[in-house]
Amino acid sequence: MTNKRETTQNHLNKNTRVLKDLSATLEVESHPFAPVLPSNATIMMMGTMPPTADKWAMNFHYPNFYNDMWRIYGGVFFDDVDHFRVGDEKRFDPERIRAFLFERGIASCPTVKQAIRETGNASDKHLTIVKTVDLDVILPQVPDVRALFTTGGKATEILLNLLDNPPIKSKYPKTNQSIDYPYQWQSDDPKLVANRVNGLTLYRLPSTSRAYPLALDKKIAAYKAFFEKMGKL
């Protein structure tokens, strides 16, 4: 009889073979942007991969001008969706955004370090994850973070599967819901253990992609409610 451990190992071996097959035919892509980790951060935004470089309007997180992330931040904090926009140009100002994140204590870190775009676009549905974020490296750099928030289902799934005991999919938080996130260090380094972060909460917020069927004003309202709860407004 096959036991549970053998079944799990067989599943892992199958996934490894699938990744090897994909890697042989499709490019393994590394995330192009380093995490933004203010030492005073109390919350951390976590997405997946940006679009391909030909869709970028700047060299920073959420670089596509038609992604609503920085319009939402402008609307929430400044009542102006064009607050971070560069004049009438179709781009946002990455330095202003970075300065704002450091000022407000908001970190931004991708859940994905390496991935394969099965269809060559930014769709999470067709994104094969090769390497995920290492929270044992990231969390000690932002020791005051108490809440993580994702910008879609894929990032939520990735983070929940980093837990020692991941919940079943039916228990994943729906949009605008949260779940306890009892992440424990997987390192024996005493410095990491000393800075262990417990009691995290994971919030799932609406996707900022234009493909997500929710009006901009409703996205702004959802993010505003979250930031108010986090004491950022």
Hey, where are the domains in the chain?
29-165+181-229
Return the structure tokens found at 173: 């938080």
123-149 burial, b if ≥16 CB within 10 A, otherwise e? bbeebbbbebbebbebbbebeebbbbb
DSSP for residue 190: H
DSSP single-letter state for residue 174: P
Give dist(CA 8, CA 91) in Å, integer. 46
pLDDT, tens digit, for every residue of 28-40?
A: 999 999 999 999 9
Confidence at residue 188, expressed as pLDDT on a 0 to 100 scale: 64
Is the pLDDT at 4 greater than 50? The verdict is no
- Cα–Cα dist 91/70, whole Å: 10
Q: When comparing pLDDT for 193 and 13, which is higher?
A: 193
Give 5's pLDDT tier (boundaries 50, 70, 90). very low
pLDDT over 90 at 87, yes or no: yes
Instruction: Band the pLDDT of 118: cuts 50, 70, 90.
Output: confident
Mean pLDDT of 62-78: 97
Backbone phi, psi, residue 148, to 5°: -110, 145
Contacts of 181 (CB under 8 A, 6+ apart): 148, 159, 160, 163, 200, 201, 202
State which CATH number among 3.40.50.2300, 3.40.50.2000, 3.40.50.150, 3.40.470.10 fits the domain covering 29-165+181-229. 3.40.470.10
Span 57-62, average pLDDT: 97
Lowest-confidence range among 71-75, 80-84, 122-126?
Answer: 122-126
d(CA 75, CA 25): 42
Task: For residue 26, count other CB atoms closer than 10 A to its CB.
Answer: 14
CA 101 from centre of chain: 15
Q: How confident is the model at residue 127 (pLDDT cuts 50, 70, 90)?
A: confident
